[in-house]
């Protein structure tokens, strides 16, 4: 196996280091975060850092780097307190990727792509139309990560919208039925397929499939 150390990282060109370090932790979720400014301007941007934090209460976290793009997302969340998380499907990947382009603040990526705003009853923040799982989230807190000047945003899941065919009787959403993609690094879009689902692991008992 090839081995690279921190000394090797420091000698790398910026783009090579970005590609290597972004791809070395494994697959990442591909989510479009949609927001609205206090004066009603929509924004949508792709994020790969949305992480499950806990189920009771239902909490997620994601990382923003406030000094770089996407700036509008963080500003809008701070203004309104709310945002939506929308899963990216195979047919949305080119548009989802384009939301990472460096548009001037206030420009809506909904206008620059084929992504369409969808509005739900009693919710003023847009969703991404056609996304098979959509979360309506409320800003709860943030933790400043001093080591690299980023912010870990903590949010509660207020509502989950999903296509009914994804849901199993025990609450589990089978994401591959929605053609949802995963990210490999900054720019590699992958389509996962379920290979097995296992029952709760018990000590000294072989792993049992749910499916077989």
CB-CB contact of 30 with 24 (8 Å): no
- Report the residue from 11, 66, 101, 124 that binds a copy of itself according to the rule CB under 8 A: 101
Stretch that binds a copy of itself, among 35-43, 74-82, 132-140 (CB under 8 A): 132-140
- Report the residue from 37, 41, 78, 112 that binds a copy of itself according to the rule CB under 8 A: 112
Cβ contacts of 158 within 8 Å, gap of 6 or more:
82, 136, 137, 138
Is residue 119 part of the contact set for a copy of itself (CB under 8 A)? no
Query: Which DSSP symbol is given to 125?
Result: S
**Burial degree of 154 (CB within 10 A; 0-12, 13-18, 19+):** middle
Whose Cβ is closer to a copy of itself: residue 117's or residue 154's?
154
Is residue 170 part of the contact set for a copy of itself (CB under 8 A)? yes
CA quadruple 90, 91, 94, 100: dihedral, nearest 10: -70
Per-residue tokens: 8: 């090797």
- Report the residue from 11, 21, 81, 124 that binds a copy of itself according to the rule CB under 8 A: 21
State which of positions 31-90 bind a copy of itself (CB under 8 A).
31, 48-61, 63, 65, 85, 87, 90
Is residue 147 part of the contact set for a copy of itself (CB under 8 A)? yes
């Amino acid at each position: 196996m090839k081995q690279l150390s921190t000394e090797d990282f420091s000698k790398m060109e910026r783009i090579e280091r970005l590609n290597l370090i972004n791809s070395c932790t494994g697959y990442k979720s591909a989510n479009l975060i949609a927001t609205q400014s206090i004066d009603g301007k929509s924004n949508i941007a792709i994020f790969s850092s949305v992480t499950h934090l806990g189920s009771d209460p239902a909490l997620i976290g994601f990382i923003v780097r406030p000094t770089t793009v996407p700036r509008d997302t963080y500003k809008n969340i701070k203004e309104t307190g709310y945002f939506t998380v929308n899963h990216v499907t195979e047919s949305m990947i080119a548009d989802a990727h384009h939301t990472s382009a460096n548009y001037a603040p206030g420009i809506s990526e909904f206008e620059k792509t084929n992504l369409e705003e969808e509005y739900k009853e009693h919710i003023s923040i847009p969703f991404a139309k056609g996304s098979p799982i959509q979360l309506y989230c409320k800003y709860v807190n943030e933790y400043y990560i001093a080591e690299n000047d980023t912010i870990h945003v903590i949010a509660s899941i207020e509502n989950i919208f999903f296509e009914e065919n994804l849901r199993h009787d025990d609450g589990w959403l089978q994401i591959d039925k929605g053609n949802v993609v995963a990210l490999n690094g900054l720019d590699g879009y992958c389509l996962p397929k379920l290979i097995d689902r296992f029952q709760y692991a018990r000590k000294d008992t072989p792993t049992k499939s749910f499916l077989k």
